[in-house]
């Protein structure tokens, strides 16, 4: 069983707080601990900021699409821009001593640090899709039995 939440926002920074609120609601639904939920929210925010700034190049006529797939064992988030895309190999390594004070590349570093999986693909209709996955352990008494009302007792 899984649920999907999809939304599309205009390519404007004013929507970052809204995206953060949605992310917080989703992480609450999956009962992530507070620290993990905060890191997930930061990763999603960074991904949306990158989509607006680097993917769509702040173009007001472009949008950013988000899809949250909620499953008992994981949260998968897709963020898609409608821009020209970018070359991941051209992003400076934020851990290189020459780049320690350079803010460029930090968002991707954060996403890779806080999420279990992060990958980038080109969408066939244009734009870049960032897919991020955060797994969680599901206690033995949770999962599908909770949704259908059944119990082992």
Q: How confident is the model at residue 151 (pLDDT cuts 50, 70, 90)?
A: very low
Residue 35 lies in a domain: yes
Q: Which residue segment(s) compose the domain that 58 sits in? A: 3-147
For the chain, what percent of residues have pLDDT higher than 90?
A: 60
Helix (H, G, I), strand (E, B) or coil at 27: helix
Q: What is the pTM of this model?
A: 0.81
146-149, long-range: CB < 8 A, 24+ apart: 147/1
Residue 142 lies in a domain: yes
Q: What is the pLDDT of residues 36-90, one digit of tens each?
A: 999 999 999 999 998 999 899 999 899 999 999 999 999 999 999 998 866 566 5
d(CA 72, CA 139): 10
Residue 153 lies in a domain: no
CATH number for the domain harbouring residue 94: 3.30.565.10
Residue 30 lies in a domain: yes
Single out the residue of 53, 82, 64 nearest to residue 7, CA to CA: 64
Residue 152 lies in a domain: no
Neighbours of 100 (CB within 10 A): 8
Query: Is 60 exceeded by the pLDDT of residue 25?
Result: yes
Q: How far apart are the first and last CA of the chain?
A: 22
Q: How many domains does the chain have?
A: 1
């Amino acid at each position: 069983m899984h649920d999907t939440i999809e939304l599309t926002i205009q390519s404007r920074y004013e929507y970052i707080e809204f995206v953060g609120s949605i992310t917080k609601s989703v992480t609450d639904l999956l009962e992530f601990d507070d620290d993990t939920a905060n890191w997930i929210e930061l990763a999603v925010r960074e991904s949306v900021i990158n989509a607006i700034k680097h993917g769509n190049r702040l173009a007001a006529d472009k949008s950013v699409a988000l899809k949250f797939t909620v499953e008992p064992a994981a949260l998968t988030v897709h963020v898609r821009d409608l821009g020209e895309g970018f070359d991941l190999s051209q992003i400076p390594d934020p851990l290189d001593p020459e780049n320690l004070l350079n803010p460029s590349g930090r968002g991707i570093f954060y996403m890779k640090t806080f999420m279990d999986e992060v990958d980038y693909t080109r969408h066939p209709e244009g734009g870049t899709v960032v897919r991020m996955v955060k797994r969680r352990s599901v206690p033995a008494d949770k999962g599908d039995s909770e949704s259908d009302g059944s119990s082992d007792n």
